[in-house]
Structure 1
């Protein structure tokens, strides 16, 4: 046991005496979490600035402007044609909507009035705004037709009737929102939490990949053979190294979880569930590192191929972006990578307030990956 402990402490000192280790283990995952968490977060998302040019100045044209404003998906400003054109050229507005003259007259005559939407080719939200304009005009045509029909029957002014119809249609339906959660404190998983969990997994995997390359490095430099010539057995060497890898991984995970709790307001959930899930994930990651080491000859090759595998599977597993935005086929393929099950476990703990029992399934899958990786990897790595 003393020899195992000595090997473990030696590897810990070797890892943490390098300044670049701190950047890789702690700096980069926190930076990536901040960037991608803010990128895909819906909170604080800026709306496109759209100017509206009303050249008709009638009841129905004003009703269209009010309808567009009620959608609350863009910041609308009322400008003249000249002002809108100048601001668009100066890129002070994303685009502008022009309501031409005779808009109301054409609408009452059951014709399709022309509304012009000017925008730059680089504006990705143009289709959405086009759809909003079309939907608003269809609604307005229904109101105008109903009001005109009522005027013909009752003889009252269609404008007053149109206003009443518009107010009735604008009334929101009463919708009761019910959030299902096992914990009142964990009813939603914000994007920062998802990205924090994802990039923690990714950089722990990269760290494990680097340190498991010690086997290849030791064989290249002849250190392994010198250690084998000492009274220390091969079994003690392997246990010492594996314990060191496991402990380094837990140190990295622990620090990142602690910092993200205070910096990004991430709630990681049940402590015992975290312990089981992270331990399973670390064992799986160590197994993956040894698996890759079994198919390459040098630590440099392991670094190149390993990083390629880890980054690509992280993209597939939902680390970089929400898995829901990917095609259904890719979502099914994602179930064959460890990162997917790691994120599933964290989602169970952070979103649904699950306990250790709720992460047994994803932890079991990760341990199954571990068994396959270790069996293949340890059989392929040649120490003698």
Structure 2
């Protein structure tokens, strides 16, 4: 069994695990409260759900480190890079599958004009990769899983608020708007506006590229501290 298959088997080991993985995204997709954007509130908040799902998935890698699983794996002909990349690929595929379901619900419920399927799926999937990288980088800073996981909630909510997921970024002072550009949540919120308003403040694909750079940077930072 490859690491990729093992990750799938461990993450989706029972119906309850699958149910709990799908429940928050599906509930979010049905939140139809109108806001400052012509798109349901649930889809604006979905980025927060992706960050929390990513932290839950990547938590297993932290637990592997605590249980010395990686040390046992290292005795086999499996490199640290292969272990990391197969985990990342599995997590990204899981979240991308969830994204398809959420976007599908959005199109059926609100229509393809309100929820442009291709651009929305692209933005969600790239931000999924960014969230996975962020979680790996965060867990690499700690020795204990529960310590890192307990702080993540406040960190992600703060990032979402500062990044403009919960309210228009335009209401913030200009200096704050410049500073928060270092947060991936800012670029997700900007990407959401670009999906809705074609040509809004730059190009969507440039925003996607910046989020991909965040992904690479976070993964490099997180992988420098070998999980074993």
What TM-score results when the alignment is normalised by the length of structure 1?
0.52
- SS of equivalent to 1:213: helix
Aligned residue number for residue 361 of structure 1: 206
- SS of equivalent to 2:12: helix
The higher relative CO (CA closer than 8 Å, separation ≥ 6) is in 2
Aligned residue number for residue 13 of structure 1: 12
Aligned residue number for residue 106 of structure 2: 260
- In structure 1, what is the Cα distance between the partners aligned to 2:175 and 2:14? 40
Residue 270 of structure 1, CA deviation: 6.1
- In structure 1, what is the Cα distance between the partners aligned to 2:15 and 2:99? 15
Higher Cα radius of gyration: 1
- In structure 2, what is the Cα distance between the partners aligned to 1:324 and 1:363? 21
- In structure 2, what is the Cα distance between the partners aligned to 1:360 and 1:15? 37
Aligned residue number for residue 26 of structure 2: 26
Asked whether the 8 Å contact 1:200–1:256 carries over to 2, the reply is no
Tell me, yes or no, if structure 1 residue 237 matches structure 2 residue 98.
no
Please report the RMSD computed on the Cα atoms of aligned residues, expressed in angstroms: 2.8
- In structure 1, what is the Cα distance between the partners aligned to 2:85 and 2:15? 20
Aligned residue number for residue 217 of structure 1: 63
Tell me, yes or no, if structure 1 residue 306 matches structure 2 residue 144.
no
Asked whether the 8 Å contact 1:208–1:286 carries over to 2, the reply is yes
Aligned residue number for residue 217 of structure 2: 372
- In structure 1, what is the Cα distance between the partners aligned to 2:72 and 2:162? 42
- In structure 2, what is the Cα distance between the partners aligned to 1:277 and 1:190? 17
- In structure 2, what is the Cα distance between the partners aligned to 1:11 and 1:251? 17
1:263–1:334 distance in 2 versus 1, CA, 3 Å: farther
- In structure 1, what is the Cα distance between the partners aligned to 2:227 and 2:180? 34
- SS of equivalent to 2:159: helix
Give 5+ residue unaligned stretches, structure 1: 42-188
Output aligned runs, 1:189-208, within 5 Å.
189-192=37-40, 195-208=41-54
Residue 365 of structure 1, CA deviation: 1.4
Asked whether the 8 Å contact 2:133–2:215 carries over to 1, the reply is yes
More helix by share: 2
Aligned residue number for residue 137 of structure 2: 291
- In structure 2, what is the Cα distance between the partners aligned to 1:20 and 1:343? 26
Aligned residue number for residue 227 of structure 2: 383
- In structure 1, what is the Cα distance between the partners aligned to 2:192 and 2:60? 30
Tell me, yes or no, if structure 1 residue 341 matches structure 2 residue 187.
yes
Aligned positions, number: 225
Runs of at least 4 residues off by over 6 Å:
none
- SS of equivalent to 1:331: helix
Residue 366 of structure 1, CA deviation: 1.0
- In structure 2, what is the Cα distance between the partners aligned to 1:209 and 1:312? 15
- In structure 1, what is the Cα distance between the partners aligned to 2:224 and 2:117? 37
- Residues 186-227 of structure 1 deviation map (CA, whole Å, 9 limit, x = unaligned): xxx4152xx333211110111001111111111222333333
Asked whether the 8 Å contact 2:126–2:208 carries over to 1, the reply is yes
Tell me, yes or no, if structure 1 residue 248 matches structure 2 residue 100.
no
